[in-house]
Amino acid sequence: MTAGTAPSTPDSVSSAELNVYASVADAIGNTPLVRLNRVTEGIEAAVYAKLEFLNPGGSVKDRAARAMIDAAELSGDLRPGGTVVEGTSGNTGIGLAVVAASRGYRTIVVVPDKSSAEKISFLRAHGADVRVTKGALPTHHPDHVRNVARRIADEIDGGWLAGQYDNPANPGAHYVTTGPELWRQTQGRITHFVAGVGTGGTISGTGKFLKEVSGGAVRVIGADPETSRYSGGDGRAYYVESIGHFVHPDSEEDIWPDSYDRTVVDEFVTVADRESIDTVRSLARTEGLLVGGSGGTAVAAALRHARTLPPDAVVVVLIPDSGRAYLSKYFDDDWVARLGFDTRTSGSRVVEDLPIDTRVPFAVPADATVGEALALLDGREELPVVLARATPGPTVVAEITGAVERKNLLDALTTDPVTNHVSAALAVVGAFETVDAAVSRAGGDRRAVVVASSGSVVGSISAADLQAGES
């Protein structure tokens, strides 16, 4: 047997049936379907999870990566010795790096700075050249992830941009693989398909096939973060990676990916960050499934929808990736506590027991003038500066870019942009953290401390009041 060649098998048994493949790219797909049992208490319908994190590269994006490279090779856009380039939050880049490595291509991946450290490490482990760029930029900005990737591909001899957001091979991969697998695995009994929407390729391709093969009987349910534009939100930032549609407040246009066919989705179920994070932590402890944040969003939506269905319904929810890529986030108790995604679990005194200033707004928008910022301070000495419009309600902590201090504005022109006078961001503590833990986190900073609950700013507390509450 020569290297890279699958061993011969009897005529009656294929190599695929024995799980023997000529290359890692051929091992993509045919992932298992697992019934959920403990998190479905009280639900009469059957709920199954499609475990896409068992693909070689660890995510559903392996399917699109292989299909896009196959199509580029066939068209001649990607030639031997070429370089695969993509802008991605991580998973597509990993899939591309896996397939590219097996075929002798170089890979350059541009990722936003909010991508998990684990994803970046995975990319580098596969030999990818990782370029990290600022994530909080409007799509028209030259340093936006996708624009940087496009520029790199154009400048490199032999460079090819995968362009997952608008590449028809992305949804096409799911139309010819994921959809048929689900139909076969459920023996045609699937009634509902639930998936998140990132580029839109997975839900569009899979959903299209299932609708066609079932004569329109299968319902396609989109799982979406509460503020995502796909389901009608205002596009504000959220914490779950690789899902939904964020719109930068300075965007000139709200551009939706061509990979997403909105006519395929029958309805959306929106899920708050807190519910998504609670779900991933619950799945690990009750089902033995370590899934990523977008998988938590999808499962939360599937469970909520399944509660309305009869016993003969068969719900399949797609799990895009593993929680191993987010151990420093959703599964890290310190991260969860700092952002207020935990709950009160003991009788210890916690931050919310202290005198928190809950006057609104909780922040100053980055496009405010000095005069506007002084009015918003309303007697306070400091407020966070956020990359969003100031609203009466909670502000997402992820949008905080710095702080504005009254003392730094007193001699400035009232028409000056407040961004000319921004100082370092204020410390953030969780509402349910013990006071002792919060004091330790805030350190020696004498400015106000931001208080967060479920990832959003709910007020602030003076450093003196916080320390006075320490035991």
Instruction: Kindly name the residue from 50, 61, 208, 329 that is annotated as catalytic.
Output: 61
* CA–CA separation, 440 and 469 (whole Å): 12
Quote the tokens at residue 306: 């399944």
From the CB of residue 142, how many other CB atoms can be counted at a distance below 10 Å? 8
User: What are the distances in angstroms from CA 106 to CA 84, 85, 167, 168?
Assistant: 6, 9, 20, 23
Query: Which segments in the chain show pLDDT lower than 50?
Result: 1-10
pLDDT in tens, 9-30: 445 555 657 789 999 999 999 9
From its phi and psi, is residue 90 left (phi > 0), alpha (psi between -120 and 50) or beta?
left
Please say if 407 is a catalytic residue: no
What does the angle CA 125 – CA 324 – CA 282 come to, to the nearest 5 degrees? Answer: 175
Mark 313-341 as b/e (b = at least 16 C-beta within 10 Å): bbbbbbbbbbbbbbeebbbeeebbbbbbb
User: What are the distances in angstroms from CA 206 to CA 89, 131, 199, 318, 371?
Assistant: 22, 31, 13, 10, 52
Using the 8-state DSSP alphabet, how is residue 237 labeled? -
pLDDT at 138: 84
According to DSSP, the residues that pair with 459 across neighbouring strands are 451
DSSP 146-175: HHHHHHHHHHSTTEEE--TTT-THHHHHII
pLDDT at 16: 59
Residue 258 burial by Cβ neighbours in a 10 Å radius (0-12, 13-18, 19+): middle
Residue 63 burial by Cβ neighbours in a 10 Å radius (0-12, 13-18, 19+): buried
pLDDT at 387: 80
According to DSSP, the residues that pair with 322 across neighbouring strands are 291
pLDDT at 471: 62
Taking a C-beta distance cutoff of 8 angstroms, is the pair 303, 43 a contact? yes
pLDDT in tens, 32-56: 999 999 999 999 999 999 999 999 9
Bridge-based pairing state of the strands 83-87 and 106-112: parallel
Q: Where are the alpha helices (DSSP H) in 76-200?
A: 91-103, 117-125, 145-155, 169-173, 179-185
pLDDT at 6: 47
Quote the tokens at residue 381: 């000495």
Could you give the domains of the chain?
Answer: 24-57+169-326 (3.40.50.1100), 62-161 (3.40.50.1100), 336-468 (3.10.580.10)
